[in-house]
A and B are shown apart, each in its own frame.
Chain A
Amino acid sequence: MSQDHLSEDLEAFLADVEDQLKSLESGILQLEQSGGEPDLLRGLFRAAHTLKGASATFGYPRMVELTHLLESLLDGVSQGDIKVTSRLIDTLFKSLDALNALTDELVAPPDVVYDVKPLIAVLSELLDPGATQEAIAAPPETHKGAPEAPPTHSSAEREDGESFRDRALLALESGKGGEGDPYAIAVQWHPKCPTPAIRTLQLLKKLIRRGTLFASDPPMEEIENGQVGHALKLALLSTARPDVLESEIWTVPEVDSAQIALLTEPLEVPSDVPVPTRPAEDVEAPAPATEAKAIKTIRVDVARLDNLMNLVGELVIDRNRLFSQLKDIQRDFPLPALKGAISEVGETLSHVGRMLTDLQEEIMKSRMVPIDNILSKFPRMVRDLASKEGKKVRFTVEGGETELDRSILEEIKDPLIHILRNCVDHGIEPPEKRTVSGKNPEGILHLKAQHMENLIVLSIEDDGGGIDAERVRASAVKKGFLSPQNAEQLTDREALDLIFTPGFSTSEQVSEISGRGVGMDIVRHNLARIGGSLQMETRVGKGTRFLMKLPLTLAIIQSLLIRVNKRVYAIPLSFVEETLRIFPTDIQTLKNRETIFLRGKVLPLIRLSQILRSHRSVIQTNGDKIFVVVVGFGGSRLGLIVDSLIGEQEIVIKPLGAFLGNIGGISGATILSDGRVSLILDIPTLLSTVKEQGQRDLVSAQA
């Protein structure tokens, strides 16, 4: 078969494979935990089968071979011929790894390709102990003769289930009538079927002998012209029983799925039930209700959504600009004759504003994906980690359907992995130790996601040993972060917060926090960059809980605009604690650093004009009051001396172009309502830069 697949084919294939691998993975994990439920086994078999079909269609022989054996193996398991043993589970996991490796090869061809032979030998052996050779020699069954067609999708394939039903009901009411009950039928042709148009025709010929067709999707004219994709919906008035009709459908070759229900009893889920974009297992499930979910979702290129978001962002900026221009007009031309017109324009603008907000929200919603998308990889990871450490961990997930902006989802993946690793590595004790302390030898690791107001809160909780504040203090002193006296003064909370200090958690195990190069400080820092936060609660002997708070979206933030050296900068409002006006004489120099006393505490100051490396390095200190923005993050606070405050504004974040590279202290850019570009200050990085400069002890620890 041709190697010159269009990249679209590759994309479609990869998406398909990804879905199936996900459902395989969760299925295998479930199989290990709960044994072979018939439904589960059938689901696993189906996933392997679909993978085989997809890889054959795509023309990927190594994958075909592997999935063929996997399919047979899972078939054997679901027939009860093959027992579920730990060896089987391990082999299934290995197969999953192999499939992942094979998939990766398509994206980035490696120097040495993955050798499937050893695994194939194991699979064949499991399939038929003693007959390994034969099994290897037997080629996987594929459609013979003709190269297989990649799946083609007509636009009609994804029509909303609801609207078809409505249309069919309408047609039924206005129709000439006939005998029997009205049925809604949904048929999916096998993706490999090269001639869905012909199969559809054959099906129609059979069904019209059983009743009257009164609606179809695609419409009858299109079917007559052969314009049919792999999905088909029909409405049929028939006196035949549904099971009779269904078996009639299955007599047509290459049916992949068929559903039938009374038209009046919805085939689809009711519309008021939220329909999240679900991973593949639901699509694979045989129940009609879940099939409907699949029909109701479409795949959209993320770049397109990003682009939409960008466009709306531009519109928001324009709207803001129009507002300020209108104000200018009002100010510069205070003519009574204009007053009415201006207020009308103002009203229209407000309406445009509201519409834009709605539009923004809708687009934002469409960027939301259930957190399940990244969670699905975690059970496997936790399992592997735990077994490596000789620990027993039961990992449970709650609220996987909670939705988050896609870009945030990507940003939190690594932090989550890090935290989960910590919990398994250092939180949960070995089984013996747990037994001694009267706990269940199996530790519990619970991840919960929930939507709270404008935030998403993820909690990761273990019932392990907890973190001892005393030991953290000792370690901090030993590392020279604190003097023994300072350490004594810290409350337990403050002491525990030390694990978020840069360089702290990459230490030895005393901190009870995994030292894998990435410290907890980086985790917190990365979360802060996207406007999130991380807190930790721990009780010695009882366990530890991490709370991750995340914004719903990244694209639009509330910010405080400030001016420094005639340039406007934006500070995300989430970091702003307060703004002050102080006299230059209030500033005291302590250890070469400017500070002020704020409510009895020392607050270090920095002059943004210096940090931002502008040419005018000295600001006027002629006795007038100066502006200070107090920002805080991760227990540290800092006063930023700015030239003036402009006000709060909703800003749309634009990533800095590659040509700007990584500018220290700047996290992005936005366009202001007057059209000027403003840079967004990266507060966490600013704070840590200040710390690294050696004035760490001057940045007051927050009480």
Chain B
Amino acid sequence: MEIKLYDDFVSVANEVLKKEVKAEAKKGRVSICRTPFAGNDINVLVGVTGNIEGVVIYGMSNQTALAMASIMMEEEFHKVDEMVLSGIAELGNVITGLVSKEIEQKGYTIDLSPPTLIVGKGTSISSPNIQRIVVPLTTEHGALEVNISLRERQSKGGR
């Protein structure tokens, strides 16, 4: 289950990054963490409910966010402002949305919350009882860290 999901995330994120920031992403070492998520400079959190539930957090550094936003909007950004954040949030929104479409094709129902931005290191986000799979995706603009804490809902499964 988890393996399938993170593959979907990797391929969809790849596609979106290619289109939005014109960069190939390379998948780093995937790890499974049970400790709470410590947070990056900028974190986009998307809540997931339905047969599949949990949370997906996209984290990146300020530099990466600036570099990516600059490509996305064809304008140099030097400060992480409203516009940059909204671009990064949209990135997380689109990736999760498209992955959820994949997951729905597999027979699950899924609902996503609008993306929530959490800015600043040291934020601790824990998803009790759900293991967190961390997939680092490296691009020429910096790294995007995808934290996937999802599980199949216990009461009623998929098909």
Contact = CB atoms under 8 A, between A and B. Distances in A.
Interface string B80-102: 00000000000000000010011
Interface magnitude class on chain A: 10 to 19
A3 B7 contact: yes
Interface in A138-157: 145-147, 149-150, 152
Interface in A1-32: 1-4, 6
A147 B102 CA distance: 8
B109 to A, nearest CB: 11
A3 B102 CA distance: 12
Contact of B19 (A3, A4, A6, A145): A145
B106 interface: yes
A146 B98 contact: yes
Contacts of B105: 149-150, 152
A194 interface: yes
Nearest to A3: B7
B102 A2 contact: yes
A4 B7 contact: yes
A577 to B, nearest CB: 56
B12 A6 contact: no
Given A2-B4, A2-B7, A147 B98 contact: yes
Contacts of A150: 105
A152 to B, nearest CB: 7
Interface residues of B, number: 13
B11 interface: yes
Interface in B98-154: 98, 101-102, 105-106
Q: Give chain A's interface secondary structure class.
A: loop
Nearest to A59: B11
B8 interface: yes
Interface in A275-292: none
A400 B101 CA distance: 43
A149 B101 contact: yes
B24 interface: no
B41 interface: no
Given A146-B98, A150-B105, 14 more contacts: A2-B4, A2-B8, A2-B102, A3-B7, A6-B106, A145-B19, A146-B101, A147-B11, A147-B12, A147-B98, A147-B101, A147-B102, A149-B105, A152-B105
Interface of B: 3-4, 7-8, 11-12, 15, 19, 98, 101-102, 105-106
24 contacts: A1-B11, A2-B4, A2-B7, A2-B8, A2-B11, A2-B102, A3-B7, A3-B11, A4-B3, A4-B4, A4-B7, A4-B8, A145-B19, A146-B98, A147-B11, A147-B12, A147-B15, A147-B98, A147-B101, A147-B102, A149-B105, A150-B105, A152-B105, A194-B101
Interface of A: 1-4, 6, 145-147, 149-150, 152, 194
Task: Report the 8 A-B pairs with minimum CB-CB distance, sorted nearest first.
Answer: A4-B4, A2-B8, A4-B7, A2-B7, A2-B11, A149-B105, A1-B11, A150-B105
